[in-house]
Amino acid sequence: MRRQVLRTIHFLLMTVIAVVCLLPIVWMVLGSMRSYEELFQYATQVSWHLLVPVNWTFQNYIDVLFDDQHPFLRYVFNTLFVASTVTVLVLLINSLAAFAFAKLRFRGSSVIFVLFMSALIIPGEVMLVPNYMLINNLGWLNSFKGLIIPSMLSVFGIFLLKQFFEEIPTEILESARLDGASWLKIYRVIVLPAAVPAMITLGIITFLGNWDAYLWPLVVINDDRKQLIQVAIANFTSMAGTEWTKVLAANTIATVPILILFFVLQRYYIQGITMSGVKG
């Protein structure tokens, strides 16, 4: 009996917290499907229609996606392009390095590894001004180059992948070596397939990080047509006379694909956090 009561309380408490976590998102999605007047008309007292639209409409989505002044679809494509390119390059460049640190012997490898790891404590926020001055000197301001190339290094990725690669038995690599396979071939045929879960983990962390990037595109890009989605969303609301239902529609467009990606791959994402946390 007492056990039953405790379990009910436990369940109710978790339900309340889940509402706190999810309500802002549910409210955002539902709010994006109602008219501007309706959103504010029902916004002053607790009722069913505080959340649920009276007249469902997709007009906000049409307005956002086909707005000539703020080509939202373009921001989505810009962001997809930058985030995907960075993710592919991060996986390639950092897995090669991680593999070398895990399995190859070369002079200075441990010293160089420490150099890499020392960069872990320099946060992006500190790098903002130094990297901006560099990108400015290189003439890469206002270009995707300026967004992509400095993001190709992931010291955390090297750290994460090295742990995975170390688990691969060296004997397998050795015998492939004796059969005359080059290291590049061993990396492609043996190591990469074995490291798929780790690559997915790093891939999703990198992609999400770039999809969510705000500060760096804010300072690098000033041509509106090259802007990325997060800066565009933030700019939407700082304009006078914010059209809130459109903002909610833009937010929903920016969020739903990410949520789906997360639900499908959450196991890998969580693993990334756990590995950096427990072993950190």
Contacts to other proteins from residues 53-112, by CB under 8 A: 93-94, 96-97, 99-101, 103-107, 109, 112
Tell me, residue by residue from 180 to 209, as one string, x for binding to other proteins by CB under 8 A and - for no binding: --xxx--x--------------------x-
133 touches other proteins by CB under 8 A? yes
Name the minimum Å distance from CB 248 to other proteins.
Answer: 7
Q: Which of residues 14-33 bind other proteins (CB under 8 A)?
A: 14, 17-18, 20-25, 27-28
Over 96-124, what HEC string results?
A: HHHHHHHHCCCCCHHHHHHHHHHHHHCCH
Q: DSSP secondary-structure letter at 190?
A: I
Report yes or no: 268 and 207 within 8 Å, Cβ to Cβ.
no
148 touches other proteins by CB under 8 A? no
Candidate list 230, 246, 249, 268; residue touching other proteins; CB under 8 A:
230
Which is closer to other proteins, CB of 51 or CB of 81?
51
Report yes or no: 247 and 236 within 8 Å, Cβ to Cβ.
yes
Distance, CA of 280 to CA of 274 (rounded, Å): 9
Structure tokens at 277: 């946390």
Alpha-carbon Rg of the chain, whole angstroms?
24
Distance, CA of 222 to CA of 175 (rounded, Å): 54
Name the minimum Å distance from CB 62 to other proteins.
Answer: 20
175 touches other proteins by CB under 8 A? no
Distant-in-sequence, close-in-space partners of 251: CB < 8 Å, separation ≥ 6: 28, 32, 233
239 touches other proteins by CB under 8 A? no
Instruction: Considering only the stretches 52-60, 67-75, 190-198, 223-231, report the one whose residues sit in contact with other proteins under the rule CB under 8 A.
Output: 223-231
241 touches other proteins by CB under 8 A? no
Structure tokens at 180: 């005359």
Which is closer to other proteins, CB of 71 or CB of 165?
165
Residue carrying structure tokens 């549910």: 26
Tell me, residue by residue from 150 to 169, as one string, x for binding to other proteins by CB under 8 A and - for no binding: x-xx-x--x-------x--x
